[in-house]
Structure 1
Amino acid sequence: MSKNGVKAKEVGGYRDRPWIPRFWDGITFWGWVKVMADHRFKIAPRRLGMAILITLIGLFNSFLALIQKLVYGRKIARTALVDDPIFIIGHWRSGTTLLHEMFILDPRFGFPDSYACFAPNHFLVSRWFLAPLVGLLMPKMRPIDNMPFDWNRPQEDEFALCNMGVPSPYLSLIFPNEPPRYDAYLTLENVPQRELERWKKAFLTFLKAVTIQSGKRIVLKSPPHTCRIKVLLEMFPRAKFVHIYRDPLAVYPSTINLWKRLSKDEALQVPHYQGLEERVLTTFCRMYEAFERARPLVPTGQLAEVSYEALVADPEREMERLYRELDLGDFETIRPRLREFIAERSNYKRNKFELDPAVQREIAHRWRFFFEKYGYPLPESHDLASAPTPSRTSSSRPA
């Protein structure tokens, strides 16, 4: 058992190599310099080579960004979205990627793929020559699980924002030993209006560029959007939201594993992981308190929910229900593709984790509101009679 009370039996992933591209290899020069300056260039000596390489690549990204602006700038500005997006929301490691993969089986929907999120500043002009070259260096699996990876697969749009130089909580991965500097951008609730408008403009610009590429209604997946529903509805009043949730005793260790692996691979510091457990516990509460505050703002018929366990047990039934509740059109369009997708993943192996009983008690104490709301059994070994339930989070079962 590790010091954080989590014992992992991992499958899939890849062994890190110096030549494997980093998430930040698509960022512009000034965006990269700003992140390093915000953290006072506290770079570990052994990561100095990575910092220099990304800086040089940033100059190349800035040049290509200028080319895309000259070629596509006016077209992007004039482009209208086909319809307001469909947002896949939920905490990290709750099944958002799986659900995203299922939705984009529908040929009526578009999505930001991994290359667009890797190179948001220039993917419209560079895909034809740069994606194949960089693809030769890319691993075939995601770093944290057995999910396959390639440029054409869907990706979190949050990484696109990072590479566009927009503040994001994900940028804290670069300097994991420093206090988080961009936490306000998780919920966007306390971001100054001027900076919020900049965030909205960058996000919309990216979605317009994706629309030029796909010409379809966009399905997006990014866990931070779970906290941003108020802002997203201001931008997209007809947006649809699909919330996926999972047993907290599975979410916690998998999230710890996620942040440890990404910090290890992507950081300019050698991570010591101090405070990681508390950060995961606190962020979960922040996310769902913000989600419950915004829930009443969502118009009827624009929010549907599904548990990870139900989705895995009967994907076809749950996806058909989601289509019906959100009025997404004829489900028969997707049914044959979904069955093929399910068959291809029949041998998928998930990471397995064991939790120390003391850690289970802490999770049950801090996240009791979630266990109760979504009907997950509390660990029997803990007396939770006095455990607090956040007042802003409903404890009723979902309909």
Structure 2
Amino acid sequence: MSGFPWHRIFHPLCGADPVTLLRLVARHGPPSVRGTPAYLVALATSLVRLPFTAADLALEALDPTAIAPPVFIVGYPRSGTTHLHNLLAASGAFATAPPVLAAMPWEARSLAPLAKPFIDPYLPSTRLIDKVAMGPEAPTEDEVGLANLGPGSYFHAVYFPRRFSQTYHEGLAGPTDEARRRAIHRYVAALGRRARERPLLLKNPAYTAQVDLLLDLFPGARIVHIHRDPRGVFASSRRALRRTMRELALQDVPVGEIDSAVLATYPPVMRALREQSAQLPPGRFAEVSFESLTTEPRRVLQQLWRQLDLPAPPGAMDRIDAHLRQVAEFRPEGARLEATDLGRLEAAWSKELALYGVPSAAGTG
């Protein structure tokens, strides 16, 4: 059943509330003729869910969720955050957000747990962008839920791409407002009850330039940053955005804006990350490279466990080894960058290439 493209009917925005859906149209314009049916399904779904939404709001007001300091994985999109997320989650040391609960943050206590067994069989078996295997319990990116809690998500650049460059940049590198703070707190609180004495393990590329905000909202949180050779980031971002918008965009896709948006957004995101993490003690912040993680996963992960004093239940590394065996045959897609692309990167990302570049990765994605 998961082979059918259900996302074209039941868009990820089916977990959004009516106000968010209407505000997105007011801000970005109406969906195209092709995107209108999926938008209307999402709007209808939001109205049907309203009693459960209200119930969750009441429950949270009466019995607020206590939030233990989470572990956050950050890194610019296509830097390897998912691979690191899956490896750490495989240890069994952390609580994570499965797809259905992540996509329904408004009803995390009420409807989402009831709906999950019915929705799980219809989930895709692999991600749209890169064929990475996923399942009903796969750790899911926070932005899936945050995009349904209000405006300000870089996912909205994919869903409503009429103003792609601006929305993408604002969602990843722009300043955060009070609405975004509330959305992040609500999302993490919605998952807090899954923790059961384990810290939440959450990942979101959109948090990369928001480390200060995370530590303000969740004192004691630990941050892991994963970086990748910028040439690989660029090639993979271009490919992933084109594929994702082909499937999920509710408006016509301005393909010509993708490269310039990525070129303009990467440097300020990485600069903000460096500035905000510079004074953090070793026990609160750690960095790994995607290249080292793929070639020496055991060494990198053991060092990460020591740096951040992560919980280590019995058999944690054995479970990680089992996951590594399961994904041993997977190979990331490569893509040779043209000389003109490499020239643009050298001009726009000279500092990032010096800091994060890997000589053997030159020209590949």
Scaled by the length of structure 1, the TM-score of the pair is 0.83
Residue matched to 2:307: 325
Per-residue deviation, 1:99: 0.4
Give the secondary-structure state (helix, strand or coil) at the position aligned to 2:122: coil
For 1:113, the aligned partner's letter is P
| d(CA) in 2 for partners of 1:219, 1:129 | 23
1:21 aligns with 2:10: yes
Per-residue deviation, 1:70: 3.6
Give the secondary-structure state (helix, strand or coil) at the position aligned to 1:121: helix
Residue matched to 2:172: 186
For 1:94, the aligned partner's letter is S
For 1:29, the aligned partner's letter is P
Once the two structures are superposed, the pairs formed by residues 291-306 of structure 1 within 5 Å of their partners are 291-306=273-288
1:274 to 250, 256, 264: 256
| d(CA) in 1 for partners of 2:128, 2:313 | 33
CA change 1:56–1:307 in 2 (3 A) is same
Q: Is the 8 A contact 2:7 2:248 kept in 1?
A: no
Q: Is the 8 A contact 2:230 2:357 kept in 1?
A: no
Once the two structures are superposed, the pairs formed by residues 35-114 of structure 1 within 5 Å of their partners are 35-41=24-30, 43-75=31-63, 77=64, 79-82=65-68, 84-114=69-99
| d(CA) in 2 for partners of 1:51, 1:304 | 40
Give the secondary-structure state (helix, strand or coil) at the position aligned to 2:129: coil
For 2:142, the aligned partner's letter is D
1:198 aligns with 2:184: no
Residue matched to 1:207: 188
Give the secondary-structure state (helix, strand or coil) at the position aligned to 2:263: helix
Residue matched to 1:144: 129
Residue matched to 2:23: 34
Residue matched to 1:174: 159
For 1:231, the aligned partner's letter is L
Per-residue deviation, 1:138: 2.3
Per-residue deviation, 1:249: 1.8
1:245 aligns with 2:216: no
Residue matched to 1:392: none
CA shift digits 1:71-102 (9 cap, x unpaired): 45422x2x2212x1111111111110010111
| d(CA) in 1 for partners of 2:103, 2:207 | 19
For 1:273, the aligned partner's letter is V
- Moved >6 Å (runs of 4+): 378-381
For 1:98, the aligned partner's letter is H
Q: Is the 8 A contact 1:31 1:164 kept in 2?
A: yes
Per-residue deviation, 1:355: 1.3
CA shift digits 1:233-274 (9 cap, x unpaired): 222232211111112221111101111112121111121312
Per-residue deviation, 1:167: 2.2
Per-residue deviation, 1:182: 7.2
Structure 1, unaligned runs of 5 or more: 1-12, 382-399
CA change 1:370–1:121 in 2 (3 A) is same
28-37 vs 163-172, which moves further: 163-172
Per-residue deviation, 1:132: 2.6
Give the secondary-structure state (helix, strand or coil) at the position aligned to 2:130: coil
Residue matched to 1:164: 149
Scaled by the length of structure 2, the TM-score of the pair is 0.91
CA change 1:15–1:251 in 2 (3 A) is farther
1:132 aligns with 2:121: no
| d(CA) in 2 for partners of 1:302, 1:365 | 33
Give the secondary-structure state (helix, strand or coil) at the position aligned to 2:110: helix
CA change 1:331–1:110 in 2 (3 A) is closer
232-241 vs 245-254, which moves further: 232-241
Question: Which has the larger share of helix?
Answer: 2
Give the secondary-structure state (helix, strand or coil) at the position aligned to 1:316: helix
Per-residue deviation, 1:364: 2.2
Give the secondary-structure state (helix, strand or coil) at the position aligned to 1:21: coil
Residue matched to 1:233: 215
| d(CA) in 2 for partners of 1:379, 1:255 | 15
CA change 1:349–1:219 in 2 (3 A) is same
| d(CA) in 1 for partners of 2:259, 2:47 | 37
CA shift digits 1:289-336 (9 cap, x unpaired): 111221224233211111111111121111001001112144764111
Per-residue deviation, 1:155: 0.9
Give the secondary-structure state (helix, strand or coil) at the position aligned to 1:292: helix
Per-residue deviation, 1:23: 1.7
Give the secondary-structure state (helix, strand or coil) at the position aligned to 1:242: strand
| d(CA) in 2 for partners of 1:357, 1:14 | 38
357-366 vs 221-230, which moves further: 357-366
Structure 2, unaligned runs of 5 or more: none
Per-residue deviation, 1:357: 1.4
| d(CA) in 1 for partners of 2:311, 2:115 | 36
1:348 aligns with 2:330: yes
Alignment identity in percent?
A: 24
